[in-house]
Amino acid sequence: MTHPDDKPAPGIYVLAAHPDMRHSRVNRALLAAAQQAQAGSQARIVVNDLYASYPDYYIDVATEQARLSAAQLIVLLHPIHWYSMPPLQKLWLDEVLSFGWAYGPGGSSLGHALAGKDLWLVASTGGAEETYHPQGYNRYFFDAFLPPYEQTAALCGMRFLPPLLLHGAHSQTPDEIAAHAEIFRDRLLSYPQWSELEELDACPQCTVPADERPRQGA
C-alpha cells in the first residue's frame, strides 16, 4: 500500500550518444543496462539513443525539452571523443539548452527550466587510467577535461555529480564490462538514495546579465 506521504520517485533521462553503437563494447552494454532499468522503473526512467533517434541530426527540440523538464537526473552516456563528447551530443546541447530556456538573465522568468536538477556524466575512454597523467601520453589527469561539463551544469543551475568512468575500454574483459554495467543499472534504480549526494554542494548560481544578448531585431 502506498503511504499518503510517499513522494513519486524522481524522473531520470538518459541520453546515450555513440556514433556506432552496434560495434561498441562498453557503451552498448551500458545502454542495455539503462534499458533494463527503464523496464523496471514504472516509466520514471526514459532512455534515448541519440544516434538512433536522430540519424539525420535533426533534433526535436520541443520533445527533448519536455523530457528534460520531467526529469530530475539527466545522464550523459557516451565515450570520450577527442577529450570531449561525440558530435551529435554536442549538437543536442547547442540546440536544446537554449538561451531563454536553459539559462538566461538572473531575476527573470527566463533560463530556469533546469535549475535544481542533477547532471551525471557516464563516460568511457579508450586510454587506460594511467595515460591520464602528466607523465602519460594524455598529459593531464582526466579531471582536467571536465570543466566544460561542470560549467554547462552550473550555467543551467544544475548540480554536477561525480562521473562514473570506465577507462581502457578496449582492454576490458566481458566480465569487467558486465560488472560495470550492473553498477550503472543499480545506480539508476537507486537514485536519489546515493549517500554522496548529501555531501555535495547545492546547485551553483551563475547570473547572466540582462543585456547579455541583443534584443530581437536589434
Read off the CATH number of the domain in which 168 is found: 3.40.50.360
**Is 7 a member of any domain?**
no
114 three-class SS: coil
Tracing cell 543499472 back to the chain, one arrives at 185
Helix or strand or coil: residue 187?
A: helix
Query: What pLDDT, on a 0 to 100 scale, did the predictor assign at position 1?
Result: 40
Does residue 130 form part of some domain?
yes
Nearest CA among 95, 97, 100 for reference residue 158: 97
| Region of residue 99 (left: phi > 0; alpha: psi -120 to 50; beta: else) | beta
pLDDT at 205: 79
5 in a structural domain: no
Q: Quick check: is 129 in a domain?
A: yes
Return the sign of the alpha-carbon dihedral for residues 180, 185, 186, 188. positive
pTM: 0.91
* pLDDT of res. 109: 59
Picking from 66, 126, 64, the residue whose alpha carbon sits closest to that of residue 89 is: 64
| pLDDT at position 2 | 42
Predicted local confidence at residue 78, as pLDDT: 98
Structural domain boundaries, residue 152: 12-199
Count: domains in the chain = 1
Q: Distance (Å, rounded) from C-alpha 149 to C-alpha 158?
A: 11
Q: Enumerate residue ranges in the chain where pLDDT < 70.
A: 1-7, 106-110, 214-218
Q: Using alpha carbons only, what angle is made at residue 128 by residues 127 and 133, rounded to the nearest 5 degrees?
A: 95
Q: How far is it, in rounded angstroms, from Cα 160 to Cα 116?
A: 10
Q: Residue 29 domain-assigned? A: yes
Residue 55 included in any domain? yes
- 2 located within any domain: no
Report yes or no on 19 lying in a domain.
yes
pLDDT at residue 215, rounded to an integer: 60
What pLDDT digit, counting tens, does each position of 184-201 carry?
999 999 999 998 888 888
- Parallel, antiparallel, or unpaired for β 12-16 and 159-166? unpaired
> At a CB cut-off of 8 Å and minimum separation 6, what does 125 contact?
79, 80, 132, 142, 165, 166, 167, 168, 169
- pLDDT confidence of residue 141: 95
Residue pLDDT, tens place only, 64-92: 999 999 999 999 999 999 999 999 999 99
Neighbour-count burial for 56-73, b at 16+ CB within 10 Å, e otherwise: eeebeeeebbebbeebeb
